[in-house]
Structure 1
Amino acid sequence: MGQNYLDVKAKFIRGFSDKTRLQILECIKNGEKTVSQIVEELQGNQSNISQHLACLKGCGIIVGRQEGKYIYYSLRNEKIKEMLELFDEVLNQVQTEVAQCDSHLY
């Protein structure tokens, strides 16, 4: 594994490392939604949500499909959904340690 590969891998993983982005991913995990639907469900700010959607799209985690004047966002594929479910599974096993961890840089 070369350094460049690890840099790209770290960028990809950072796509999952924000609370708002995780909320967006959970929101679209079971089906595509427009920005307006995501904003309404998360009770967020459209500008902020749009920036996070751009990040997720840029990281290859989600895709957008244009239909008329709307863009529908969804997970890139079933593997991303499986990864989110695996995160939940692993977190359930280590939740106490993670909650108590204060040694990581944020």
Structure 2
Amino acid sequence: MKENEFDFDMKVKLIHGFSNKTRLQILESIKDQEKTVSQIVEEINGNQSNISQHLACLKGCGIIAGRNEGKYCYYSLRNQHIKDLLTMFDVVLEDVQNDVACCERHID
């Protein structure tokens, strides 16, 4: 495998972490403040099992961090770069949203 192919594979894995509506909702939920699973579930109106699976994905990819305190685990964005990336998604989307809305080549 060429070095470039490895880089692309790693980028695809990273971007996959952001490519799900529930995961994006979780990330937006903890963008400015760490939260417990229960707080996230309540805020995005999800189901705990599903949210926990997505949190495990995000944590496994290194996008978020978990901190245990007593019987609770608090989740937060891993670092400022992740927060900046979420903000940049919004900036770029604002610029291209009409094209995205009209795109007929979107593949789920």
Identity value in percent: 67
SS where residue 2 of structure 1 aligns?
helix
Once superposed, which parts of structure 1, at least 4 consecutive aligned residues long, lie more than 6 Å away?
none
> 5+ unaligned residues in a row in structure 1: which ranges?
none
Query: Match for 2:91 among 63, 84, 89?
Result: 89
| Count of aligned pairs between the two proteins | 106
Paired residues for 1:2-81 under 5 Å: 2-81=4-83
In structure 2, distance between residues paired with 1:20 and 1:102: 23
Residue 105, structure 1, aligned to residue 98, structure 2: no
In structure 2, distance between residues paired with 1:97 and 1:2: 29
The root-mean-square deviation of aligned C-alpha atoms, in Å, is 0.8
Q: TM-score, normalised by structure 1?
A: 0.96
What are the Cα deviations for residues 76-103 of structure 1, in whole angstroms up to 9, with x where unaligned?
Answer: 0011001100100000000010011121
> 5+ unaligned residues in a row in structure 2: which ranges?
none
Q: TM-score, normalised by structure 2?
A: 0.95
